[in-house]
Amino acid sequence: MLAVVTDSTCDLPPETARSLGLRVVPLHVLIGERSFLDWQDIDPDAVYDHQRRGGAVTTAPAGQEAFGALYRELLATHDGVVSIHLSGELSGTVRHARAAADALNAGERVRVIDSGLASLPLAEAVIAARDAVWKGGDVEAAHAAVRRVGEEALAEFTVPTLEYLRRGGRLSRAQELVGNMLGLRPILRFDGGRLRPVRRVKAEAALRDILAGMEERFGREPVAVTVGHAGRDPIRLAELKAALGASGLNVTRGRVQLLGPAIGAHVGPGTCALMARPHEG
């Protein structure tokens, strides 16, 4: 059997990852002089509350040592390891994973994959790889499952405020000011491993715009949909679910996911995301 490893930016809560048989290496969330392990030492809402109070939050990649220790442990009990991580364009995490694999001289027993993704689509890719492995698939089957998610899934994010994108260097102060004056918000999508704005719409129309794009892409084809939100806001989550239910999408599987501390550090509280991909059954 192959072991499946990922990192904490998949935003699967630790108990969910354990139930799926996944091993997760955490990134580091930095607040002031303190460093926290993503999802382990700090809750997502603690990050969002800190940001709302005006505090700064940054992140650092998972280290080579953490990957090395985990790979050694897993290779003692498994035939090999498939290690699937957030985009190398966003973090040095996948580079550290590859360095750890190289240091072990394990050859093809450890395959490190740069998914080009993060958060909701990374979780979908990791779950797809895990399903392939549990059905008896080899490393190539797991890698193919990751690629298929990247090709099939449509995942888009939008933010209620431009402040955190500007803090993270994804917008200039001038772009933030203009966007606020016009009431525009970006719709963000993974492209070439980076989360890029693909269009700008009025803030109040952002959710409807994302859903309209999904309806155009998938029509009445059965789809699996994941709803993501930065913060445990039951009212906003109810609004997102209601909008999804009122859409023309043929949803045959649904999941709700909280955006975690490391992802939230860069997008800020209130960010929401929707992801859809074809689903049989």
Region at 231 (left for phi over 0; alpha for psi -120 to 50; beta for the rest): left
pLDDT (0 to 100) of residue 197: 84
Q: What is the pLDDT at residue 164?
A: 63
**pLDDT score for 281:** 63
Q: Given this model, what pLDDT does residue 161 score?
A: 72
pLDDT at 134 over 80: yes
Nearest alpha-carbon partner for 101 in 81, 122, 86: 81
Do 42 and 36 contact (CB within 8 A), yes or no?
A: yes
Please tell me the CATH code under which domain 154-278 is placed. 3.30.1180.10
Judge whether residue 170 has pLDDT over 90: no
- Segment 260-275 shows an average pLDDT of 93
pTM: 0.93
Q: Per the structure block, which two tokens stand in for 97? A: 């994973």
Average pLDDT of the chain, as a whole number: 92
What are 139's strand-pairing partners? none
Hey, what's the torsion of the CAs at 194, 96, 11, 36, to 10 degrees? -120
With respect to CATH, is domain 2-27+62-151 assigned 1.10.1040.10?
Answer: no
Annotated domain spans of the chain: 2-27+62-151, 154-278
